[in-house]
């Protein structure tokens, strides 16, 4: 993983361009306008850039696209990447431009002649987001990514512009690392330790152990982990950057480090993907890291349930009835519908303990949401239209897909139980919706609430604009934007 700290800003040094070893990138507008660095590169290459921007090929170039000149004459660089970028580009397009350069450079050191880039923070964030590979479990991880130097006229100003965007990128990268880790390495104990380490960044961390959860009456959460030798935990992260006494926004995440389905065992094919079933918790942790990193002026609490769902002689069985922290009883029809059990207890605990002004839960909850929305959007369920609209707007502004899904009394009928207050599944039809209806039962009256089903968005089979194949870190930027837009205040 490349840390955002590997991106540095320096004053433009035209004499250093010729001798740089690695890749050099120049930024040129669609009209062919060059900055000082591009003009020097053009002279070094004996007019190659000028010939390019006056060619028919350049006329067909779209903003964000790159033409590469390999082993350019007059330069030590292995390549000269020419980025077509409009100076007035918006946040997402500027971020995509930075990501395109990161993709083109591979792992080589990169010198960017960036005088033509206005939104330098977004540009640098794009480079950081795309400079990612999970290699921690390879016997030979490789050399990693080379450093990135961005030359600009005013490096101090650019550095300041990039501080918050790069802190957010660090949160995204942490989420990707967590989602990518295999379950024998990211145990509930290790997950809790990594969260505990965030105390160094100013977060207040509390870890609740099984004995604590039993005293609290979290029967649903504990039932999920009964078949595992790995202890069930709840981790709480508090960021108090807002006004003293203001109720926090609460983020709640599903952290099932591995999901076999329990007694309702999943098919073998594809079960290895269930290492990512802690994606909701991973997103919450990454968001809290981002908030601390940029010193957000908001009060936010993140609470994640950490558990492993395994089959064993003492595991929960289909037909068992378990009592929640709230006091409602649940008939477990399918032990593979465990995420909603975890969320029910952790949501109730969060509301009872922290009295939040609003709550958002995140979970890789259902395959049904992938059938409905594919991998382009997360499903958004909410009891509050205004709250949902604000989140969807924030996600859209960050280029993260989110789509509103319905709720309704008719779906509640599908999860009625004959022997308990409620059952944990409602059949195949509307599976993502009935899961949300189940969770809503554990949201207090008049509490603004959003449930995000991120099963399709948390990890993808192909690369995206900002990430290689695998974990995406979806949601960190959307949640951060929501908090920045709606919950920031003076401390």
List the single range of 138-142, 237-241, 456-460 with lowest mean pLDDT: 138-142
β-sheet with 23-28: strand ranges across: 7-11, 148-152, 110-113, 23-28, 79-84, 66-70
Co-location of 320 and 376 in the same domain:
yes
Dihedral, CA of residue 138, residue 168, residue 339 and residue 421, to nearest 10: 170
Mean pLDDT of 68-84: 97
Are 49 and 174 in a shared domain? no
How sure is the predictor about 490, in pLDDT bands with cuts at 50, 70 and 90? low
Q: Mean pLDDT across the chain, nearest whole number?
A: 96
Position 143 scores a pLDDT of 74
Which of 340, 441, 459, 481 is the catalytic position?
Answer: 340
Residue 162 inside a domain? The answer is no
Residue 471 has pLDDT above 70, yes or no: yes
Predicted model pTM: 0.97
Give me the catalytic one of 87, 266, 317, 444.
266
Q: Per residue in 20-74, pLDDT tens? A: 999 999 999 999 999 999 999 999 999 999 999 999 999 999 999 999 999 999 9
User: Which of 107, 122, 155 is the last residue in one of the domains?
Assistant: 155
Question: Residue 106 sits in a domain of what CATH number?
Answer: 3.40.220.10
At 491, the pLDDT band (50, 70, 90 cuts) reads: very low
Confidence check: pLDDT of 211 > 60: yes
> What's the CATH code of the domain at 256?
3.40.630.10
pLDDT exceeds cutoff 70 at 2? no
Residue 302 domain flag:
yes
Q: Are 243 and 127 members of one domain?
A: no
The count of domains in the chain is 2
Same domain, 300 and 176: yes
CA distance 368 to 153: 51
Q: How confident is the model over 455-475, as a mean pLDDT?
A: 96
The span from the CA of 330 to the CA of 424, in Å, is: 7
Instruction: Indicate if 86 and 139 belong to the same structural domain.
Output: yes
Do 248 and 308 fall into the same domain? yes
The residue-averaged pLDDT of 189-197 equals 98
Residue 413 pLDDT level (bands cut at 50, 70, 90): very high
Query: Is the pLDDT at 1 greater than 50, yes or no?
Result: no
Pairing label, strands 329-331, 321-323: antiparallel
Domain-embedded: residue 165? no
Instruction: Using the structure block, give the residue that is written with the tokens 């030979």.
Output: 140
- Across the range 246-263, mean pLDDT stands at 98
Average pLDDT over residues 454-461: 97
Say if residue 76 is in the same domain as residue 192. no
Confidence of residue 208 (pLDDT cuts 50, 70, 90): very high
- Select from 123, 155, 187 the last residue of a domain: 155
| Same structural domain, 282 and 315 | yes
Tell me if 163 is assigned to some domain: no
Structural domain including 455 reads 170-486
Pick from 111, 132, 155: which residue ends a domain? 155
More confident residue, 35 or 454: 454
Do 145 and 261 share a domain, yes or no? Answer: no
* Residue 340 annotated among the catalytic residues of the structure: yes
Question: Residue 421 is encoded by which pair of tokens?
Answer: 């207050």
> Residues 148, 179: one domain?
no
Q: Is 266 a catalytic residue?
A: yes
The verdict on 189 and 151 lying in the same domain is no
Q: pLDDT grade, residue 144 (50/70/90)?
A: confident
Query: Rounded mean pLDDT of 208-215?
Result: 98
Q: What's the pLDDT band for 115 if we cut at 50, 70, 90?
A: confident
Beta bridge partners of 450: 360, 382
Name the helix (H) or strand (E) containing 97: helix 91-105
pLDDT of 5 reads 63
Could you tell me if 247 and 148 lie in one domain? no
Tokens encoding 199: 């105390």
Residue 214 maps to a domain: yes
Domain contains 437: yes
Residue 306 domain flag: yes
């Amino acid at each position: 993983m490349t840390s955002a700290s590997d991106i540095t800003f320096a004053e433009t040094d035209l004499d250093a361009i010729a001798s740089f070893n690695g890749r050099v990138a120049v930024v040129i507008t669609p009209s062919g306008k060059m900055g000082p660095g591009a003009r020097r590169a053009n002279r070094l290459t004996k007019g190659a850039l000028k010939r390019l921007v006056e060619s028919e090929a350049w006329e067909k170039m779209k903003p964000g696209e790159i033409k590469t000149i390999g082993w350019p004459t007059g330069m030590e660089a292995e390549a000269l990447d020419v980025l077509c970028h409009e100076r007035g580009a918006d946040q997402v397009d500027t971020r995509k431009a930075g990501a395109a350069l990161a993709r083109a450079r591979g792992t080589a050191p990169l010198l960017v002649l960036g005088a033509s880039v206005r939104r330098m923070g977004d540009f640098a964030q794009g480079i950081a987001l795309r400079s990612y590979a999970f290699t921690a479990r390879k016997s030979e991880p490789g050399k990693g990514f080379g450093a990135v130097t961005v030359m600009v006229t005013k490096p101090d100003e650019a550095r300041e512009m990039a501080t918050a965007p790069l802190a957010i990128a660090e949160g995204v990268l942490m989420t990707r690392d967590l989602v990518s880790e295999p379950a024998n390495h990211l145990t509930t104990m290790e997950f809790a330790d990594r969260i505990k380490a965030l105390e160094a960044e100013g977060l207040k961390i509390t870890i609740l152990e099984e004995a604590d959860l039993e005293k609290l009456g979290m029967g649903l959460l504990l039932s999920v982990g009964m078949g595992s030798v790995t202890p069930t935990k709840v981790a709480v992260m508090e960021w108090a950057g807002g006004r003293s006494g203001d109720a926090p926004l609460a983020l709640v995440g599903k952290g099932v480090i591995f999901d076999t389905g329990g007694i309702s065992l999943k098919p073998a094919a594809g079960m290895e993907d269930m290492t990512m079933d802690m994606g909701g918790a991973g997103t919450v942790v990454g968001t809290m890291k981002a908030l601390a990193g940029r010193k957000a002026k908001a009060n936010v609490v993140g609470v994640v349930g950490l558990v492993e769902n395994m089959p064993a002689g003492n595991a929960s069985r289909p037909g068992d009835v378990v009592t929640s922290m709230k006091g409602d009883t649940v008939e477990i029809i399918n032990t593979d519908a465990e995420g909603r059990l975890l969320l029910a207890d952790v949501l109730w605990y969060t509301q009872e303990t922290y009295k939040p002004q609003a709550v958002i839960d995140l979970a890789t909850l259902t395959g049904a949401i992938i059938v409905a929305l594919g991998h382009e959007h997360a499903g958004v369920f909410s009891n509050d239209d205004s709250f949902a609209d604000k989140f969807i707007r924030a996600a859209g502004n960050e280029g993260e897909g989110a789509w509103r899904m319905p709720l309704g009394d008719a779906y509640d009928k599908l999860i009625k139980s004959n022997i308990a207050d409620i059952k944990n599944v409602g059949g195949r039809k509307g599976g993502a919706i009935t899961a949300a209806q189940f969770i809503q039962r554990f949201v207090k009256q008049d509490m603004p609430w959003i449930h995000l089903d991120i099963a399709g968005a948390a990890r993808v089979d192909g690369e995206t604009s900002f990430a290689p194949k695998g974990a995406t870190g979806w949601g960190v930027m959307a949640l951060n934007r929501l908090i920045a837009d709606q919950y920031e205040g003076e401390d």
